[in-house]
C-alpha cells in the first residue's frame, strides 16, 4: 500500500536531499522554505508572491554555491536553475518533493569563525524562486 495514504503521523524533517541543476555537490544541513502568499494581482485577479529559499551547508572544498552566486552578481543575464528539495522517510525512500523553477542567488553568507568553538563553518545560499510545485 502507498505510504502516503497509510501514514498518519508527520514525517520527520531530518532526512532530505537537495538538487540544483548543473551541480554535483549540493548536500545541505538546513532548508528554509519560501513563504508563498496570495495577493491581489494587477488585473484585479490573484497573484502569488514568493519569499526566498534558504539553503545552508557545512563549508567543504566544493565552491559550487559560491561560484553560482559570484556569477550571478557579475552577470548581466540570468543564471536561473531549477532547485528541488526531496523529503525522505527514515529508510531513505522519497516521500515528497518540492521543485523551485527559475531559482537564482540573491544572497550568500558564512557563519562566524570562532576559535573557542568546534562547530562547523556554515555557508548560506539564498535563492529567489519563480514559483514551486509540490509532488
pLDDT at position 41, please?
A: 82
25 within a domain of the structure (yes/no): yes
- Contact at 8 Å (CB) between 18 and 100? no
Cβ pair 27, 15 in contact under 8 A:
no
What total number of domains does the chain contain? 1
Does any domain span residue 72? yes
Residue 32 resides in a domain: yes
Q: Please report whether residue 125 resides in a domain.
A: yes
Q: Is residue 2 part of a domain?
A: no
The pLDDT score that the predictor gives to residue 27 is 83
pLDDT at residue 1, rounded to an integer: 41
Q: Would residue 1 count as lying in a domain? A: no
- The verdict on residue 57 lying in a domain is yes
User: In this predicted structure, what is the pLDDT of residue 76?
Assistant: 72
Query: In the prediction, which pLDDT does 4 show?
Result: 53
- The pLDDT score that the predictor gives to residue 2 is 52
Q: Print pLDDT tens along the chain (135 aa).
A: 455 555 678 999 999 999 999 998 878 999 999 999 999 988 888 999 999 999 999 999 999 999 999 999 998 767 899 999 999 999 999 999 999 999 999 999 999 999 999 999 999 999 999 999 999
Q: CATH code at 117?
A: 2.30.110.20
Q: Which domain holds residue 27?
A: 8-134
Complete DSSP assignment for 59-117: --S--HHHHHHHHHHH-SS---EEEEEEEE-TTS-EEEEEEEEEEEEEEEEEPPP-TT-
User: 10: closest CA among 133, 92, 95, 84?
Assistant: 95
**pLDDT value at residue 50:** 95
Amino acid at each position: 500500500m502507498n505510504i502516503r495514504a497509510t501514514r498518519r503521523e508527520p514525517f520527520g524533517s531530518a532526512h532530505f536531499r537537495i538538487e540544483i541543476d548543473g551541480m554535483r555537490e549540493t548536500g545541505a544541513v538546513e532548508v528554509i522554505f519560501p513563504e508563498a502568499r496570495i495577493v491581489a494581482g494587477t488585473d484585479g485577479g490573484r497573484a502569488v508572491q514568493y519569499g526566498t529559499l534558504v539553503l545552508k551547508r557545512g563549508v567543504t572544498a566544493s565552491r559550487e554555491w559560491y561560484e553560482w552566486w559570484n556569477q550571478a552578481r557579475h552577470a548581466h543575464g540570468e543564471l536561473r536553475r531549477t532547485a528541488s528539495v526531496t523529503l525522505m522517510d527514515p529508510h531513505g525512500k522519497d516521500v515528497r518533493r518540492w521543485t523551485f523553477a527559475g531559482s537564482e542567488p540573491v544572497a550568500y553568507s558564512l557563519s562566524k569563525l570562532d576559535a573557542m568553538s568546534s562547530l562547523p563553518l556554515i555557508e548560506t545560499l539564498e535563492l529567489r524562486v519563480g514559483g514551486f510545485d509540490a509532488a
